[in-house]
Amino acid sequence: MTNNYKIIILTIATIFGLVACSTDKTSDVVNDEMLETDETDDESEITYSGTASITQGIAMTTESNLFSAGTRVAGEGAIEASDATIWTVPAEVNYTDDIFPFASDLHNVYGNTYSTAADAVAALDGSDIIEIDSEGELITGYVFADNYFEMYVNGVPVGKDAVPFTEFNSSIVRFKVSAPYTIAIKLVDWEESLGIGTESSGGSDFHPGDGGMVAVFKNEFDEVVAISGSDWKAQTFYTAPIKDLSCPTESGTIRNSDNCDVADSNNGSNYYGLHWEIPLNWYDEAFDDSAWPDATIYTNNTIGVNNKPSYTNFTDIFDDNNNDAVFIWSTNVILDNEVIVRYTVE
């Protein structure tokens, strides 16, 4: 049950601004302007009918670039919400944690690029295989994620994406496990303007990028045992940019921003972000995801993969006529930037 309530958005920027102005004895003009701005903010009570913590504006950069070879800068930031909680944007990840293994390459212009999945698998020496159950089946997973993934099976890390942002890449994970087992993946649609979910694109400084993930899992007989689809669960934990806080709605566990504006702009510095806490044991087999929304499916055209060799080289895997894996995400593939998907293989 969600209660409607009113919050007064007093931005961190305004607080800092007032502090700065109160110590600035030389600029009465600026002081007057700031006070007027403050009055305006006080009057603008904004109706937000959801459970998220709300941030406004661009985060403080805490990591300038996780992957300096990449085309777009994959930074990380921290930002304080109106309820004084602090959030890592676009997501807390294990990219620099050596204990969390990298997935192997299907196609990665900074690593190995293969023309076929068979070539990519043939190049592996077995040291990549994560053993969850010693007597388990060898499962090979093929993943394309826009932009970044971290995958667990029964709570065990089995692979993280080699490229956090761009260029687009695709990956292989291999693990030994006994059914039933649960696949849980953290997905991040990375951002250039930290905290507001945007990137520079098409002449606009603040273009809301999109996400999307497709995955296929096969056993050692090359039989498909799981594909991404609407029978997966998907929940969002970070939604941005939000231009109007009265736009997003919640119904039960559904965090809906489908009616929110996604148009490009050249001034996103006051946009909002919505943040929800991720359950501590989200990757465990025992985590109860039954109340989570089903994944929403998206076409290849919507995700825009038809010109990307990291996808098109492997359509025999991702677009199998008999077992067509489809792109999944939460309900909003543009505004939802940190999404967790889960699926149990019986």
Q: Please report, as ranges, the residues that interact with Ca ion according to CB under 5 A.
A: 146-147, 161, 163, 169, 189, 197, 209, 318-319, 324-325, 337
238: how many CB neighbours lie within 10 A of its CB? Answer: 26
Radius of gyration of the chain (CA): 22
The whole-angstrom separation of Cα 313 and Cα 316 is: 8
The amino acid at residue 186 is K
Smallest distance from the beta carbon of 322 to Ca ion, in angstroms?
Answer: 12
Q: How far is the CB of 115 from Ca ion (least distance, A)?
A: 19
Q: Which is nearer to Ca ion, 169 or 182 (CB)?
A: 169
Q: Token pair for residue 134?
A: 């010693």
C-alpha 304/C-alpha 135 separation (Å) is 40
**Which of 334, 317, 330 has the alpha carbon at shortest distance from 276?**
330
Quick one: 57 or 197, whose CB is closer to Ca ion?
197
Q: How far is CA 244 from CA 111, 261, 271, 277, 317, in A?
A: 41, 8, 8, 21, 41
Say whether 245 sits in a helix, a strand or coil.
coil
Cβ distance to Ca ion smaller for residue 54 or 339: 339
Phi, psi for 41 (deg, rounded to 5): -65, -40
- For residue 78, the minimal CB distance to Ca ion (Å) is 19
Tell me which amino acid residue 144 is. F
Instruction: Name which of 208, 189, 192, 204 is nearest 267 in CA terms.
Output: 204
Q: Which is nearer to Ca ion, 63 or 285 (CB)?
A: 63
Smallest gap from Cβ 170 to Ca ion, in A, equals: 8
CB neighbour list of residue 228: distance below 8 Å, 6 or more residues apart: 213, 214, 215, 216, 295, 325, 326, 327, 328, 341, 343
Which residue's CB is nearer to Ca ion, number 183 or number 317? Answer: 317
Residue nearest to Ca ion (CB): 209
Q: How far is the CB of 4 from Ca ion (least distance, A)?
A: 27
- CA–CA gap between residue 80 and residue 85 (Å, rounded): 6
* Termini Cα distance of the chain: 32
Q: Considering the complex, what minimum distance in angstroms separates the CB of residue 253 from Ca ion?
A: 20
Cβ of residue 197: shortest distance to Ca ion, in angstroms? 5
Q: Count other C-beta atoms under 10 Å from residue 136's C-beta.
A: 16
Min separation Cβ 328 and Ca ion, Å: 11
Query: What tokens appear for 94 in the block?
Result: 């294990």
- Please say which residue, 21 or 314, places its beta carbon nearer to Ca ion: 314
Nearer to Ca ion, 330 or 337 (CB): 337
State how far the Cα of 174 lies from the Cα of 301, in Å rounded to an integer. 28
Least Å distance between CB 211 and Ca ion? 6
Q: Which is nearer to Ca ion, 105 or 161 (CB)?
A: 161
**Residue for token pair 């403050």:** 38
Measured from the CB atom, is 50 or 211 closer to Ca ion?
Answer: 211
Which residues contact residue 284 at a Cβ distance below 8 angstroms, ignoring those fewer than 6 apart? 154, 155, 182, 184
